[in-house]
A and B are shown apart, each in its own frame.
Chain A
Amino acid sequence: MARRRAAGIALIALGTLLLGSAGAVHGRALLREEGLRRAWDAAEARRAVRTARAALGSGERAAPPTIGEPVARLRIPRLGLDEIVVAGVGDDELLAAPGHLPGSALPGDSGNAVLSAHRDRHFSSLGALRIGDTITTETAHKSVVWVVRQRRVVHRAAPALRRSVAPTLTLTTCWPVRWFGPAPERLILTAEPVR
């Protein structure tokens, strides 16, 4: 009887530890997300100043984004999604926000812009996005409306990301979109700018 009680106490302690650590990670991610929103607002203010300076003839080139820095705003009306996109797709970045894959184009620039997010966080409803749905991206210098042209599910090791010359937006997340279990595949959505 005492052994059962001891086992029960040990299990409760273990469960509390797991819940606590998961809660701490989640809380940290929420704080980071809030920080990103504030950073994006500040960056918008700086952009306004830069635009004004450029209009006066003292234009300056924006530095390439560093990992962890907000780089864009992503809106998907059908999903009710409105998120700040962060540079980088590491664990820290993806816990806080959808991530922009370094080396890919920024949304709206020529080339393929790749944005990824966790299936159990920001892209938890990405599976509901269909061909023909619209997406809006906003970067430091460009706001673009995209339309989804392709939707595919590929193996996780498949060479899914391709270089392109024309502006392209690629959204990726793990498939199947669910909370638990392995993720052997990837959902890949490709969009083109609305002409």
Chain B
Amino acid sequence: MSHRSLVLGALGAVLCCSASLEAQFTTFVPPRRDTVTRDTLAVDSARTVTSADTAMRQSMTNMKAWVDSAANVGTPVSSRAQAQAGGTVEFRDGAPAPNTATPLPLLLLVGVGAIGVGIALIRGGGGGTA
């Protein structure tokens, strides 16, 4: 009990005298993280990427316009390429008929042929050893 009163008394004395002695109670305050600088860096980086993308897009747009003008057509490049490959996908006056051939029967034929040849090779090999 006496110990507690001693501690309280000492604390009170320090607090009362601190004003007259102009003492300063300080503590460690960690410096704020420099978020502003980091945000600024991120924004700058994003701006750089955006400007690069814009330049790339502009360049690609110019290339597409150049290809279109060189081909002297106003149709989209994709549909033109498909039409050239015989793959009309949209009606227009003078369009070629759509491509209606499939490689499916050929795949079946090649598959059956490969299996047949494979069996013949195995049987031929087995016959030689027997």
Residues of A within 8 A of B (CB): 1-2, 4-5, 7-19, 21-22, 25-26, 88-91, 94-95, 99, 101-104, 112, 114, 116-121, 123, 154, 156-163, 172-174, 179-180, 182-183, 186, 188
Contact = CB atoms under 8 A, between A and B. Distances in A.
B91 A18 contact: no
B77 interface: no
B108 to A, nearest CB: 5
Interface string B85-104: 01011111111111111101
B121 interface: yes
Contacts of A10: 118
Contacts of A26: 104
A99 B113 CA distance: 32
Contacts of B124: 4
A157 B106 CA distance: 23
Interface of B: 84, 86, 88-102, 104-122, 124-126, 128-129
Nearest to A157: B96
Contact of B97 (A21, A116, A182): A116
B107 A18 contact: yes
A178 to B, nearest CB: 9
A19 B97 contact: no
B103 to A, nearest CB: 9
B98 A8 contact: no
B75 to A, nearest CB: 12
A121 B108 CA distance: 14
Contacts of A120: 101-102, 104-105
Given A16-B111, A18-B110, A19-B111, A25 B104 contact: yes
B115 A12 contact: yes
Contacts of A159: 94-96
B101 A15 contact: no
Contact of B122 (A5, A14, A103, A174): A5
A160 B95 CA distance: 6
B118 A154 contact: no
Given A9-B118, A25-B104, A120-B104, A1 B96 contact: no
A4 B125 contact: yes
Given A12-B115, A19-B115, A174-B100, 20 more contacts: A8-B121, A12-B119, A14-B114, A15-B112, A15-B118, A16-B111, A18-B107, A90-B89, A103-B91, A103-B92, A118-B102, A120-B104, A123-B100, A157-B84, A157-B86, A157-B96, A159-B94, A160-B96, A162-B93, A180-B105
Contact of B121 (A4, A13, A25): A4
A114 B115 CA distance: 40
Given A1-B128, A118-B101, A174-B100, A89 B115 contact: no
B97 A95 contact: no
Contacts of B118: 7-15
